[in-house]
A and B are shown apart, each in its own frame.
Chain A
């Protein structure tokens, strides 16, 4: 395992592993082991959480055991068995006898023996947590808790919802996948399911990178967690271009995070960012991954977006950015998308403006009016382009409209400041 040694912009590279690190590292494998042996995802999950709490209480004082994963599996198994023995659980067990009874020796090896390498459990768990039956919010919550090892309180805090709401969301999600067999999807189903897994990881990352609401622009924990989980998936599927591309995209985006906000949490746009504060190591790693991903088959949306991010990250300034190449990559992205991609087209319009002038960019926006009508980002882009083209009144009105529409506090403040600066 090379966790913690190359975490990009995450925690310092050589910090000794804390109890929390150890727990997060082992979370998916411990839960996987239990679910594979006993079934009952929901009960197993509770048991694992209890074992983690016990570990968090005991390890810091007594020291971590030599085999932390074994300790956790043993402790969680005991709790689960206790629970299964209780009356309530027995009733449930009888009701779900079919689901509980192992179909054959392959799906349920005896305790203490694992038939499949435990890493496979991580992937199986991810597939389970990102089950198509679950709503998007349930998928991300379950993934963070079951695979990421975050507590309900941590997930709630990161999503800015009360803990009770998140607990309910998680328990509903667990109910929904009850009885789904713990195994990887078949080959024909696998690609589609992997796409969902990557989508969930990207969602978690975006939620952390640009909080869509609330007062903190950057919820770093979520972004780091998404990167860590994507690294884990890449270790299991090193030749999957989409996985490599997604990890590259996350690293190249996160590399700019230190420069994205000012001292009071205000948003700093790309062209005003202090590029010396970008994380060079993450950029180098991300760029190498982009190249690798492009050799792993046809470029999908993650690879293309990563390639765009790499062009931004490698440029010494906005002026020296290879905007023509970026426009070409956006063209590719829009062309290959299965459906309309208005947000990609909006970014493309910005690139066109940078390459050919603000009027060219404004002309591109005309085609997006219908699909993005009422979207604050369209207004924000229009405001910037109008300002660049010298139309102060038009720019003001567009900034105003964008500031009124966004639900993110830092974004709204940034737009208000731009409007105020324009009037000065």
Chain B
């Protein structure tokens, strides 16, 4: 079974990683960042080695986001600008192919144990199963 494993964040969290503290979050130091990158890199390596990793990516900052609709001629209309400062949204994801929900839960718990500096908000890691069946290519 495939699972989508998601981590959340807000623009303020991205700013904190770039060194800008706010009410919402303390700023990350160079050492904090290195610890986090190393931790995530290890998880990805392990998942690649077990063959469970299908895809994984971190997403760019919410300020890069846009909402798009279409007008009556099919031309794109941007209906919302970048996300606001505190709105939480998807910050990164893994698509994993795991033997069981227990196994993917174990992986999500490991992701949740990622080292973080004091004073930084903690979000739960979200798991959503991806039903089997023909994908977009089928």
**Measuring CB to CB, which residues of chain A are less than 8 angstroms from any residue of chain B?**
162, 164, 264, 396, 399-400, 403-407, 409, 412-413, 415-417, 419-424
Is B58 touching A404 in the complex (CB atoms < 8 A)?
A: no
Q: Given A264-B41, A400-B15, A409-B58, is A420 in contact with B20 using a C-beta cutoff of 8 Å?
A: no
Give CA–CA (A399, B30) in the complex, Å.
14
Known A-B contacts: A416-B19, A420-B28, A423-B29. Give 8 more (CB < 8 A). A403-B17, A404-B14, A413-B33, A416-B18, A417-B34, A420-B19, A422-B19, A424-B29
B30 touches A403 (CB 8 A): no
Interface of B is mostly: helix
- Which residue numbers of B lie inside 8 Å of A, CB to CB? 14-15, 17-20, 27-30, 32-34, 37-38, 41, 58, 60-61, 63-64, 137
Of the residues B18, B32, B38, contact of A403 by C-beta under 8 Å: B18
Minimal beta-carbon separation of A386 from chain B (angstroms): 14
Q: B64 touching A419 by the CB < 8 A rule?
A: no
Interchain residue pairs A-B with the least CB separation, the first 4: A420-B30, A419-B19, A404-B61, A400-B18
Q: A415–B19 Cα gap in the complex (Å)?
A: 10
Contact call A420/B29, Cβ cutoff below 8 A: yes
CB-based contact B37/A399 at 8 Å: no
CA A413 to CA B15, docked complex, whole Å: 13
- Asked if B18 and A419 make an inter-chain contact with CB atoms under 8 angstroms apart, the answer reads yes
* Residue from the list B34, B37, B41, B64 in contact with A404, Cβ < 8 A: B64
Contacts of B137 in A (CB 8 A): 162, 164
A148 to B18 alpha-carbon distance, docked (Å)? 41
Asked if A416 contacts B29 (CB within 8 A), the reply is no
Q: A404-B60, A423-B27 are in contact. Are A264 and B33 (CB under 8 A)?
A: no
CA distance A396 to B64 in the complex (A): 19
A420 to B64, alpha carbons, bound, how many Å? 21
Partner of A396, one of B19, B29, B41, B60: B19
- Given A264-B41, A400-B20, A419-B19, are A405 and B64 also a contact pair (CB < 8 Å)? yes
Using CB atoms, name the residue of chain A closest to B29. Answer: A420
Closest to A164 in B: B137
Tell me the nearest residue of chain A to B32, going by C-beta.
A420
Residues of chain B with a CB closer than 8 A to A423's CB:
19, 27, 29
Provided the pairs A399-B19, A404-B14 are in contact, do residues A416 and B33 lie with their beta carbons within 8 angstroms? yes
Quote the shortest CB–CB distance from B31 to chain A (angstroms): 8
* A residues less than 8 Å from B60 (CB atoms): 404-407, 412
For B14, the chain A residues whose CB sits under 8 A away are 404
* A412 shortest CB reach to chain B, Å: 8
Residues of A within 8 A of B38 (CB): 264
Identify 11 residue pairs between A and B in the complex whose beta-carbon atoms are under 8 Å apart, listed by A's number.
A164-B137, A399-B18, A400-B15, A404-B15, A404-B64, A416-B18, A417-B30, A417-B34, A420-B27, A421-B30, A424-B29
B41 contacts across to A, CB distance below 8 A: 264
Contacts of B61 in A (CB 8 A): 403-405
Partner of B18, one of A264, A404, A407: A404
**Contact in complex: B19, A404 (CB < 8 Å):** no
Chain B residues with Cβ under 8 A from A424's Cβ? 29-30
Question: With A399-B18, A403-B18 in contact, do A420 and B37 touch (Cβ < 8 Å)?
Answer: no
Alpha-carbon distance A407/B57, docked complex (angstroms): 11
CB closest residue in chain B, given A417:
B30
Query: A412 to B15, alpha carbons, bound, how many Å?
Result: 12
Q: What is the chain B residue whose CB lies nearest that of A423? A: B19
With the chains together, A403 CA to B15 CA distance in Å?
Answer: 9
- Give the nearest-CB partner of A162 in chain B: B137
**Which B residues are in CB contact (< 8 Å) with A412?**
60
- A416 engages B58 (CB within 8 Å): no
Bound-complex Cα distance A412 to B63 (A): 14
Complex-state Cα separation, A404 to B59, whole angstroms: 10
Q: How far is the CB of B73 from chain A (nearest CB, A)?
A: 23
* Complex contacts, B32 vs chain A, CB 8 Å: 420
